[in-house]
Amino acid sequence: MKLVLAIIQDADASALMRVLSEHAFEVTKLASTGGFLREGNTTLMIGLEDARLDELKRHVAQTCRTRIRLVAPNVPVGEQSEGLSSQPIEVPVGGAVLFVLGVQEFIKV
Ligand code: 2BA
Ligand code: 2BA
Helices within the chain (DSSP H only): 10-22, 53-63
Tell me, using a 6 A CB cutoff, whether residue 26 lines ligand 2.
Answer: yes
Which residue has its alpha carbon closest to ligand 1 atom 14? Answer: 36
Please state, in angstroms and rounded to a whole number, the distance separating the CA atoms of residues 90 and 67: 10
Global pTM reads 0.93
Q: Under CATH, which number does the domain 2-74+85-102 receive? A: 3.30.70.120
Residue 86: what pLDDT? 75
Contact yes or no for 27/63 (Cβ under 8 A): no
Q: Distance from the CA of 25 to the center of ligand 2, in angstroms?
A: 9
How does pLDDT run across 39-95, given as a tens digit for each residue?
999 999 999 999 999 999 999 999 999 999 999 887 555 555 555 667 899 999 999
Q: Where are the domains of the chain?
A: 2-74+85-102
Please state, in angstroms and rounded to a whole number, the distance separating the CA atoms of residues 35 and 100: 20
Q: Distance from the CA of 107 to the center of ligand 1, in angstroms?
A: 32
Tell me, using a 6 A CB cutoff, whether residue 49 lines ligand 2.
Answer: no
Length, in residues, of the chain: 109
Q: What share of residues in the chain are helix, strand, coil (percent, to 5)?
A: 25, 40, 40
Please state, in angstroms and rounded to a whole number, the distance separating the CA atoms of residues 13 and 30: 10
Contact yes or no for 101/2 (Cβ under 8 A): yes
Nearest atom, ligand 1, residue 41 CA:
33
Which residue has its alpha carbon closest to ligand 1 atom 37? Answer: 97
